[in-house]
Structure 1
């Protein structure tokens, strides 16, 4: 259908760009293979436990830095204590290419230095509540890549989890970049549309979401706090 009716790139909010079909099928398969490896070693994919005792419905594994609510560390102290896999340079290059595509700004692309990725897997029942990506000490853009089932992605404002917000569909291969005035906008995933993915990606079911970030941390820097 996309070949017949192309979905145009769209600025959903200032600095928040949706670029449909950005990843080709071969690159989607490469990402699925890499994420499968990271999901098993050195730190297994898990349901993150929240500070008040709740458990997230998505499963998460990280590279570069390990994320748990309000902090980044090099080791997964809430899982098995191992150091997470290194953030690969090929993924940093992909992030720079994404920024270049979204903003058409070569200088911004060259300066983009992501050092971590949160890899979230959604089964058909998983959801993500409205939240801000604010555990980083950097306001550099967040680059989000989708593979597998389509989801409803809700992009809100920077002040509240409630309206105004915009719902769009993120399909397999889509790019979304949160930056500029929308870098700290609330956003979430209220629904996954089961069975909409292409098995040719290597993902038989569910949705894989890779979000690249710049933490602004170094090994000698204390983790962020809420």
Structure 2
């Protein structure tokens, strides 16, 4: 069951203006445009990371290629192949450690964590997803981490996307939220295991990313 798409017009600020948080559920909040003042620096850092550890489409345990291309930074990166889903301290592509979390990433995550009312930022891992027209991420829960008390921070950059926000059960109703350049979503506490995903990305253009959308997702892997 899916609710209608809505754009939260009351929460859309002018460029670089402060925005009021929008509650999604207990422990979950949308922070419209919170990352907008730092968006260019964030995108530059993404490109720097990708030059060291390139984006790649991973294989699911069932043998299919994921439509979203991924890379990572931090102590841990997330991997998927026929052996399952897991976090690793080295890139399977390069054999080297993942690049460190850039200072600009950490600064925005700390700001978002504080704005959402959580005491500690999740900075052990940043997963970077690159969406192109038609790519999607199915509804799922983030359960591969051993620190469920820590929130997840998600930063949207580039082309707008439809964020699917469900409940704690796959069959729960799903809301469709339009996320635009610089938006940040934080979820934890009672909402830590909410099902979520991204609908197929519509063809569009953003001056900073072309037809692509980048999503930075920060997690704590171990306590």
Aligned to 2:165: 155
* Residue 159 of structure 1, CA deviation: 2.1
Aligned to 1:100: 114
1:13-46, Cα deviation, whole Å (9 max, x unpaired): 2211111111224x111111110111121x2110
| Aligned pair partner of 1:124 in 127, 133, 141 | 133
CA contact (8 A) 2:42 2:105 kept: no
Task: Map 1:1-226 onto structure 2 (within 5 A).
Answer: 2-3=13-14, 8-25=20-37, 27-41=38-52, 43-64=53-74, 65-69=76-80, 70-77=85-92, 79-103=93-117, 108-109=118-119, 111-139=120-148, 140-160=150-170, 162-195=171-204, 197=206, 199=207, 202-216=208-222
Label 1:131 to 1:120 Cα distance change in 2 as closer, same or farther (>3 A). same
CA contact (8 A) 2:77 2:91 kept: yes
Structure 1 length as normaliser, TM-score? 0.83
CA contact (8 A) 2:162 2:198 kept: yes
Label 1:40 to 1:155 Cα distance change in 2 as closer, same or farther (>3 A). same
Unaligned runs of 5+ in 2: 1-11
Structure 2 length as normaliser, TM-score? 0.84
- 3-state secondary structure, aligned to 1:192: coil
Label 1:9 to 1:194 Cα distance change in 2 as closer, same or farther (>3 A). farther
Q: How many residues align?
A: 204
CA contact (8 A) 2:36 2:183 kept: no
